[in-house]
Structure 1
Amino acid sequence: MTPTIAKIVWTVCVIAWYVIRYPYERKAKRTAVARSRRDWREVTLLTISLSGLGIIPGAYVATGFGRVGDYAFSASRAWAGVAVFALSLWLFRRTHKDLGRNWSVSLEVRDGHRLVTEGVYRHVRHPMYTAFFLWAVAQALLLQNWIAGPAGLVGFGTLFVFRVFREEAMMLETFGEEYRAYARRTKRLVPWVF
C-alpha cells in the first residue's frame, strides 16, 4: 500500500457510497414529504459534513491541496482504513435497504412514514450515522494528512452533535410512545454501548 493507492481506495469508496445511495435517493424523491425541518441550520450542517467527508479530502486527493499536513505514511494504518471503509459501506447499504422509502438526506417525514425497528435498526437507532463515523475513521486512516484525514470526523461530528437531538425530537413527535419504547431498548450509535 502506498499513499497514492490509499487515495485511489478512498476515491473508489466514495464512488461506491454514491452508487449505493443513488437508487434509494431516486425512490425517496417519489414519495411526498409530509413534514420537513430543512431550514438554514440543516443546510449548514449538511454543508459542513460534505466539506469534511468530500470537499476537503477530495481537493487533497485531486490536487494535493493541504499536503503540508502530510505525515509519515503507514501501510498498516491504510489497510486498517480499507477494512473500516468496507464495514462502513456494508452498514450504509444495510441502513438504506432497511429504511427503503422512509429514508431522506434531510430531516423529513414522508407520507406513509413508518418507524423502522428491524434489520440493523433493531440494535441501533442511528446506524447510518454509525456508517458515516466509520467512513470518517477510514478517511483518517487512508489519507494520512493532518488536514484531509480528520476533516471527516470534524465535519460529520459537527452534523451529528447539532442534528441528532432534533431528529429524535421529530421522531418522537411523529411516533410518540412507539419511539420512546424503541429509544429505551436501543443505543444511538453502537449496540449496547453508545
Structure 2
Amino acid sequence: MKSKEFEMPAFGVGPIYVLTCLLLTIGGLYLHFKGFLSLGQCKQGQFIFRITGLVLILAGLYLWIQAVIVEKINRKTHEGKLITTGVYSLVRNPVYTAFIFVFTGILLLTGNIILLGLPVFFWAFLTILMKKTEEKWLKNKFGQEYQIYSSKVNRVIPWFKRK
C-alpha cells in the first residue's frame, strides 16, 4: 500500500500557484495604474510590448485548451494515466505554463519593464513547488516511465522533445 504522503490531490499545487500569481499580477497592475511604477514605463516599443503580450495570452489560452480539453487531463488523471502526448510532449506542465503565459501577457500590455520581474518569480515559484510536490508524487506513481519522460520534456518552458 502506498503512503498517503505520496498521494497527489486532484488539482495538485494548481490552486496555490494560480492564486498567488493572480494576486501578484493584480498587485502589479494596481501599482502600475496608480503611478507607483512610472520609472519602469517604456515610452518606446509600446507596440512590441502589446503584440508580444497578446501573443502570449493567445498561446496561454491555446496551451490550456490543448491540455484540459483536447488531452482530457481530468479524465486521464482520474484513470491514473501519465499523459505524454500532444502539448504534454512539449512541456510537462502545460496548464501551469498557460497561466504563466497569460499573466505575463497581461503584464506586458502595460509596457512597464519593472513588472517583467514577476514572470521570473512565477517560473521560480513553480519550479520550487513542482520539485517539492507534484514531481515526487509522479515519480512515486509512475516510476521509471515518469523519469524517462521528465528527462526528455521541460518542466515549464515548452520545447521540442530531447532525444
Whether the TM-score (by the shorter chain) exceeds 0.5 is yes
Amino acid at match of 1:112: E
Match of 1:119 in 2: 86
- 1:152 Cα deviation after fit: 4.2
**1:181 lines up with 2:152 in the alignment:** no
- 1:160 Cα deviation after fit: 0.8
- Partner Cα distance (1:126, 1:157) in 2: 12
**1:101 lines up with 2:74 in the alignment:** yes
Q: Among residues 116, 119, 125, which one is paired with 1:153 in the alignment? A: 119
Equivalent residue pairs, number: 149
**1:128 lines up with 2:95 in the alignment:** yes
- 1:82 Cα deviation after fit: 1.2
Which of structure 1's runs of 4+ aligned residues deviate more than 4 A?
41-47
**1:162 lines up with 2:128 in the alignment:** yes
- Partner Cα distance (2:139, 2:105) in 1: 32
Change (3 A) 1:49 1:137: closer
Change (3 A) 1:137 1:46: closer
- 1:69 Cα deviation after fit: 0.9
Match of 2:9 in 1: 36
- 1:191 Cα deviation after fit: 1.6
CA contact (8 A) 1:81 1:138 kept: yes
Change (3 A) 1:90 1:45: closer
- Partner Cα distance (2:29, 2:126) in 1: 21
Change (3 A) 1:143 1:35: same
Q: Secondary structure at the match of 1:120?
A: helix
Amino acid at match of 1:169: K
Match of 2:22 in 1: 50
- Partner Cα distance (2:107, 2:161) in 1: 23
- Partner Cα distance (2:93, 2:64) in 1: 11
- Partner Cα distance (1:193, 1:116) in 2: 14
Q: Percent identity?
A: 21
- 1:137 Cα deviation after fit: 3.1
Query: Residue deviations 1:13-50, cap 9 Å, x none?
Result: xxxxxxxxxxxxxxxxxxxxx643999x9876554322
Change (3 A) 1:192 1:113: same
Query: Residue deviations 1:85-121, cap 9 Å, x none?
Result: 1112111211112243158xxxxxx643211111111
Change (3 A) 1:89 1:158: same
CA contact (8 A) 1:69 1:146 kept: no
- 1:164 Cα deviation after fit: 1.6
**RMSD value, Cα:** 3.4
CA contact (8 A) 1:140 1:150 kept: yes
Amino acid at match of 2:52: A
